[in-house]
Structure 1
Amino acid sequence: MPDAYAREERGDASPRRRRRTIAVATLLVLAVATGTAVAVKGGLLSFSESCEDSAVRLTLAASPDIAPAVRAIAGQTLADEVRSDGRCLDVEVVARDSYKVADALASGAEAPGFQVWLPDSDLWLDRAEGLGTGTPISPSDSVASSPVTLAMVPSASKRLGWPEKTYSWAESVGAALRSGKVRLGAADPARSATGLLALTSIGASSAQQGGDSDTRVAETAKVLAERMSDSDAQVLETLARSGSGAEEGNPKRNQAVLISEQAAFTHNAEATGSGRLDLFYPEDGTPLLDYPYTLVDEEKLTLPQSRAALRFMTLLNDRSSQAVFARYGFRPADGAADDAVVTPAGGKSPQPYDTSAAEAPSAKELQEMLGMWTITVQSARLTTVVDASGSMATPVPGSGRSRMDVTKESLIQALTQFTPDDEIGLWEFATTLDGEKDYRKLMPTRRLGDPAQGGSTHREKLSAAFAGLQPVPGGATGLYDTVLASYQEARSTYVKGKFNALVILTDGSNQDENGISRSALAARLKELADPERPVPVIAIAVGPDADREEVAEIARITGGDGYEVSDPAEIQAVIFRAIMTAGQNGRAAQE
């Protein structure tokens, strides 16, 4: 290709890359080879055209932290008249919060307006893909990275023994909180990859300590929630400032924050004296923000756009671009430390800033942590409605247990993630279960920590009720009447200040021909739904016989959604994912 620069060789790809669409690069290379040959043979490309006349224009939506660096590279690319198949590259870089882009792509409600997306972490890719009904994305290589760290103003870091003293994630956060004089802030994990990766790392580190780690993590989450900011940029604004009571005063200001190394680099470039930050790098490894280069709605890109997008990705990975990223405080994609970045950011030996990055958490671990965060920040009030029809006795392939057995086990395990302040109840349903009714209330929706008869708690009684669920021989799925009845009660018993929701698990479609019709149910739910007192329905279709689209359409009327699991063992993770999504939707609606 007649380009001004050839792609420079890179080292091995980052081992942290969990999921990348390698086919993207292969297809684009084939497109370049085939398309260029056809274009040249047909005389469609003129290599003498000026940039203004021949430029291929792309819009790239980048995370706000990396947008300035990418914009600088794009500007230099255009100034140098770097070409793709003889046509100049004109890349417009717009800053967009990664969580907002992910939610917009998942909804697919409108055209995105950009061809390339550069989020700060590949954890947003799962969120963007959602249920697979939104705008398709094609992830490829990471272009840069930055470790997540614990940053402190000097007065606080010296108190904890920086830089000589090293800690694990759980120990560092615990030491900061136990000191009683170090106020710790973080960005909302539902909106910040930095906040979520840090909280997940704290959870994994706490689990290694043994004991009741779930309680410790929940307590940490509670503390962080009290000093939570909406974004990473806002977290930095909460820091104590020189001359503003940085040592002990001004309780509204934080002395420690969970941020990326790059964010600390940018902050320190403008700060002086006691306003600069020192960085703790946990011994058990720091997770990386990894900035995956992602094509958006690839099938709708023109051939020149596809080739240009690939060309710009190779440019972002060449030596000159990597030098630009380093000047803005980023590490290369493999996470290798560079003292020219680490030292200005606030890192200092013997802090283990050059150790291997922590293993990236799985999508399931992230979903569970987000669910825990949602119900910790805002206590939950959930009514769980479980299908007890005869089909729940169907064996789960390879497990030797029935759908009901695995469902019960998953629900009991999920129950351990809720706090004593959370309220949970239980209904079961099957045709003619209770006289003419298709449903029966087994446990009221009450605080898990409330005392119950016999000296136990509501949590213990509820766990026993879950364990006692049994399929009703010959019972069919009386779904519609049950949804209406349970929703009416959840609405009438709504508790302000809590996350109110209805969780319905079913392995089939409605089979009660004598009950309310689907259209009548939809009409009644529309009448009952109140944005000021939201009670989203979280409908989980279990197994191959369930109709996810049916339950999803019903749930969406209330502000919830439908989910599908092939294995009931996945229910716990899906519940937390659904709680997080519904909680975010409700919060966005209030804003």
Structure 2
Amino acid sequence: MPDSHAAEGRRDHPRPGRRRRTVVIATLLVLSVATGTAVAAKGGLWSFSESCEDSAVHLSVVASPDIAPAVRSVAERARADEVRADGRCLEVEVLARDAHKVAAALAAGDAEPDFQVWLPDSELWLERAKGLGEGIPVSPSDSVASSPVAVGMVPSASQALGWPRTTYTWAELVAGTLGSDRVRLGSADPARSATGLLALVGIGASSARQGGDSDTRVAETAKVLAERMSDGDAQVLETLARSDSGAEQGNPKRNQAVLISEQAAFTHNAEATGGGRLDLFYPEDGTPLLDYPYTLVNEPELSIPESRAALRFMNLLSDEKAATTFAEHGFRAGDGSAADSLVAAAGGRKPQPYAEPPAEAPSAEELQETLGMWTITVQSARLTTVVDASGSMATLVPGRGQSRMDVTKESLIQALDQFTPNDEIGLWEFATTLDGAKDYRRLMPTRRLGDPAAGGGTHRQKLTAAFAGLQPVPGGATGLYDTVLASYQEARSTYVKGKFNALVVLTDGSNQDEDGISRSALVARLKELVDPERPVPVIAIAVGPEADRDEVAEIARVTGGDGYEVSDPAEIQGVILQAIMTAGQNGRAGQE
């Protein structure tokens, strides 16, 4: 490194799974720098005598609001010390933006980002930012800091649960708070907060280890949390009782406990007085970490000076001075280690297991499943499921020995288990000339799963039997366009306010009904039918190699939904949950 300030003190303890990322980014940057170095040397462009104002290279960093002040301090120190990258002074602008908003904007890819580096509070936003792979690319590296997710309580509540001597698992701790009239537990919206989502995943994993009907217990927990949900981490702190006075504790609008990061508790306690301070419970079955990955945005489009400046600033954020700055703001090192004094200031105390290794990071599938469950728990779903019954659905799935229809049916039945009795689900099937001149047939009305059905049983049981009875129509072609129009018109006309209304369409091929409506006419008609006050997004899933995701995506996006592709019908369950989460989040964002 030719800079006058090398990164002698960089911590070299990357979290598991991150080392390869560092190598990839470093390789890309080295190649860029090597090219730039040759050009600069040949042209005589380096000049260490120029003033910073004339030679500065500008870098914009968007950071999660909690870590932005610490990152800004490092940037200001770099400016004061006239730190250089390839002989040019480093001028870094740090902007605070909520990670969920940044992830949504990058996934959409509608506009060029006005920043080169992103520092979200969690790696989970990187997967959200990828979306369907059509947005702005992101290239993550190592964590620059970390903070465990815990449960903060006002002293009267924590003492009632035996803090600090008594320790609990996630499941036990949440059950202890929800089972007590004296302890009201608040959470930030898991769709907008990494803290809330990681805590909910931890609760789910802990409940599963207890055995029994864990899905039901977690759904019930989510329902209770939703009743005391705040939009974000800053807002949930505002719901806390401000003191241990009887009036504050008896106020039903005030919480005595919150799902919170250690760093947020550190900041809260630094400003709180008396009974307003928080004590922290660290679940004994593992605290997940907010991990703050340093991430390049649209790396292929970065100029050589920007690439070099980005690498230089990453090194600065990893040196010993930066570690001290992060600790002063309540953050742990990237590997999760922290001094006892930091933990004590945040409200932790032995024998709480705050020094134990963090919980393993959840997989993308676990996050999607949890978010899907959360969306349909917070806002009951009303879904009309429309399934392709054309002859091609009899095609065998490679390596499974089952037809596309058989695997699709199994996946739909499994997905049904994720829904509550209050959710409303119906079923249509479609193929050319399925019902006389019509290409579609309604098999089950869209009703509450818990409602009693004619002849006994519940709507859920009848719907499960209807899924199991789906069969391909021999010789039937795919009458997709007429079916989408008819089912969308009914879903819109039967819209139920207060629920997440959507149309889920599964097809393994393009439209083959030449006598029906054309694609362009369908898109035009859907544009006329869409009503922002009665949103019904279409979630279109292309099943198998013959299906055209671009075709169904074009149709779905007109309604506020999107198109998805699965090579194996067994993936349908996960995709439905992911799509519900995405469409539900987009709907909330549109209401802000």
TM-score using structure 2 length: 0.98
Distance 1:101 1:221 in 2: 25
Distance 2:21 2:530 in 1: 40
Q: Which amino acid aligns with 1:101?
A: V
Which SS does the other structure have where 1:131 is aligned? coil
Q: Which amino acid aligns with 2:444?
A: M
Which SS does the other structure have where 2:182 is aligned? coil
The answer to whether 1:484 aligns with 2:485 is yes
Which SS does the other structure have where 1:68 is aligned? helix
Deviations 1:5-24 (A, max 9, x none): 21134333112649836422
Aligned residue in 2 for 1:457: 458
- Quick one: percent identity of the two aligned structures? 80
Deviations 1:132-175 (A, max 9, x none): 11111111111111111111000000001111111111110011
The answer to whether 1:172 aligns with 2:173 is yes
The answer to whether 1:569 aligns with 2:544 is no
Distance 1:362 1:489, change over 3 A: same
1:420 CA displacement: 0.3
Aligned residue in 2 for 1:31: 32
Aligned residue in 2 for 1:217: 218
Deviations 1:240-274 (A, max 9, x none): 00266466311111100001000001101111221
Q: Which amino acid aligns with 1:376?
A: T
Which SS does the other structure have where 1:538 is aligned? strand
1:40 CA displacement: 2.3
Contact 1:337 / 1:353 at 8 angstroms: preserved in 2?
A: no
Aligned residue in 2 for 1:299: 300
Contact 1:78 / 1:90 at 8 angstroms: preserved in 2?
A: yes
1:4 CA displacement: 3.0
Kindly report which structure 2 residues correspond to 1:535-554, keeping only aligned pairs within 5 A, or say none.
535-554=536-555
Query: Aligned-residue CA RMSD in angstroms?
Result: 1.4
Aligned residue in 2 for 1:7: 7
Aligned residue in 2 for 1:384: 385
Contact 2:248 / 2:254 at 8 angstroms: preserved in 1?
A: no
Distance 2:101 2:19 in 1: 22
Contact 2:18 / 2:141 at 8 angstroms: preserved in 1?
A: no
Aligned residues: 591
Distance 1:340 1:4, change over 3 A: farther
Q: Which amino acid aligns with 2:540?
A: A
Where has structure 1 moved over 6 Å in runs of 4 or more? none
TM-score using structure 1 length: 0.98
1:219 CA displacement: 0.7
The answer to whether 1:315 aligns with 2:316 is yes
Distance 2:110 2:309 in 1: 27
Say which is worse superposed, 100-109 or 244-253, in terms of deviation.
244-253
Aligned residue in 2 for 1:410: 411
Distance 1:472 1:22, change over 3 A: farther
Contact 1:240 / 1:254 at 8 angstroms: preserved in 2?
A: yes
1:301 CA displacement: 1.1
Deviations 1:75-131 (A, max 9, x none): 001100111111111000000000000001111111211111100011111111111
Deviations 1:202-244 (A, max 9, x none): 1111111111111111111111111111110011111000266
For structure 1, the residue ranges without an aligned partner over 5 or more in a row are none
Distance 1:371 1:569 in 2: 17
Deviations 1:394-425 (A, max 9, x none): 12222222211111111111101101000000
1:347 CA displacement: 0.7
Deviations 1:504-535 (A, max 9, x none): 00111001111111111112111111110111
Aligned residue in 2 for 1:425: 426
Distance 2:175 2:24 in 1: 44
Q: Which amino acid aligns with 2:88?
A: R
The answer to whether 1:248 aligns with 2:264 is no
Q: Which amino acid aligns with 1:210?
A: G
For structure 2, the residue ranges without an aligned partner over 5 or more in a row are none
Aligned residue in 1 for 2:62: 61
Distance 1:366 1:458 in 2: 29
Kindly report which structure 2 residues correspond to 1:111-510, keeping only aligned pairs within 5 A, or say none.
111-242=112-243, 245=246, 248-510=249-511
Distance 1:203 1:19 in 2: 30
Which SS does the other structure have where 1:248 is aligned? helix
Say which is worse superposed, 240-249 or 56-65, in terms of deviation.
240-249
Which SS does the other structure have where 1:20 is aligned? helix
Q: Which amino acid aligns with 1:580?
A: M
1:52 CA displacement: 1.4
Which SS does the other structure have where 1:165 is aligned? coil
1:581 CA displacement: 1.2
Distance 1:163 1:264 in 2: 16
